[in-house]
A = this chain, B = another copy of it.
Amino acid sequence: MGRKRTKSGKIRLTEVAKLAGVSPITASRFFRNPDALSASKRERVDSAVKELGYVPNLAARALASHRTEVIGVVIPSLTNSVFADVLRGIYDSSEQSRYSIQLTNTRYSILQEEKLLRLFRAQKPAGLIVTGINQTTESRAILETMDCPVAQIMEIGDSPVDMMVGFSHYDASFAAISHILQQGRRRIGFLGARMDPRVQRRLDGYRDAMKAVSLFDSNLVVTTSVPTTVTLGGTLFADLLAQAPDIDAVFCVNDDLALGVLFECQRRQISVPGNLAIVGFNDLEFMASAVPSLTSVRTNRYEMGRHAVTMVIDAIEGRRPQEPVLDLGFQLMIRESSTSQTA
């Protein structure tokens, strides 16, 4: 008993084929592999598609082909502005392709991540982009049976599930501390919030850099698992001052904290960089226009998103990169807040 609604206007591939005078399968090929058609048929199908305003039914296509044109993305946070740039890169790249993005958010929950990965595996995405390299054993197992290209982003490490795009948080942190040391500062505090694996590695870099010059002191480190805010930067800085009143520099694991520290310094009349150097991480836009301008570690987040999508799509289409790990590096943006007043 027919649902007449079906006929209501919906153009099917069959109609296109009929108008073009070809078989449905040829019309189908027009979309998936136009080069396989002769020029004449290609043109006939093309104009039939345009004349009828045909739009493929993606559900039917997915059902018949056992594939989707969806790239899954798993990130830990929508709030963290770091991911905004990555996402922009991801969406920008995907828009030029046939693939669409399915974005999901773990809220830094390991369990949520496992659940999402399981969901993705069941839905057979064409590709997958996940954040970080510290998946649980379970998550890793799911990723390895994913049956599609997988890119891990934000950081790089030794054993990619498949591909990686990122940079070394350890090296970036180490470089930042080295710079501060070079400026003659000795008592460098460390401020960390929401200690996810990447932030943890920044702490490792800090610790090793300090230990290398025998300047490490656990009183210089203040961390919390609370999510980052500018206000929190001020609070943590106050804690740090209480623990180590003689600090002459602060390294913050992100720029929001650094801005909070700057404000707290203004509140307490601590001169920056006179009495205190401040260095942040990520190089958000405001760092350059703060007073004094704030030194930070620039990370190539937008490019990370773009490359991740490009690599995944290339892999889907059989063009695997010869080098599965892409290091996008970082740049130390040295500004007033960490250079001597005289400079």
Chain A interface residues toward B at CB < 8 A: 3, 5-6, 55, 57-60, 62-63, 66, 68, 78-79, 81, 84-85, 87-88, 91, 95, 100-105, 122-123, 229-231, 233-234, 256, 259-260, 263, 266-267, 285-286, 288-291
Contact = CB atoms under 8 A, between A and B. Distances in A.
A106 B290 CA distance: 31
A120 to B, nearest CB: 11
30 contacts: A3-B66, A6-B66, A55-B122, A55-B123, A58-B59, A59-B60, A59-B62, A59-B63, A59-B68, A63-B63, A78-B87, A78-B91, A79-B84, A79-B85, A79-B88, A81-B84, A91-B103, A91-B104, A91-B105, A102-B102, A103-B103, A229-B285, A229-B286, A230-B286, A231-B285, A231-B288, A231-B289, A233-B289, A263-B291, A266-B291
A107 to B, nearest CB: 9
Contacts of A84: 78-79, 81, 84
A134 B88 CA distance: 24
A48 to B, nearest CB: 17
A256 B239 CA distance: 28
A76 B83 CA distance: 17
Contact of A58 (B105, B123, B229, B285): B123
Contact of A5 (B66, B68, B122, B123): B66
Contacts of A62: 59
A288 B259 CA distance: 12
A102 B100 contact: yes
Contacts of A123: 55, 58
Nearest to A80: B84
A101 B87 CA distance: 15
A213 to B, nearest CB: 33
9 closest residue pairs by CB, A with B: A59-B62, A55-B122, A230-B286, A266-B291, A59-B63, A231-B289, A78-B88, A263-B291, A59-B59
A172 to B, nearest CB: 23
Nearest to A86: B78
Contacts of A102: 100, 102
A229 B288 CA distance: 11
Nearest to A259: B286
Nearest to A305: B78
A3 B288 CA distance: 56
Contacts of A81: 81, 84
Contact of A289 (B234, B286, B290): B234
A290 B122 CA distance: 47
Given A58-B59, A59-B63, 14 more contacts: A55-B122, A55-B123, A58-B123, A78-B87, A78-B88, A79-B84, A81-B84, A91-B103, A95-B105, A103-B103, A229-B285, A230-B285, A231-B288, A267-B291
A337 to B, nearest CB: 13
Contacts of A259: 286
Nearest to A234: B289
A143 to B, nearest CB: 17
A289 B230 contact: yes
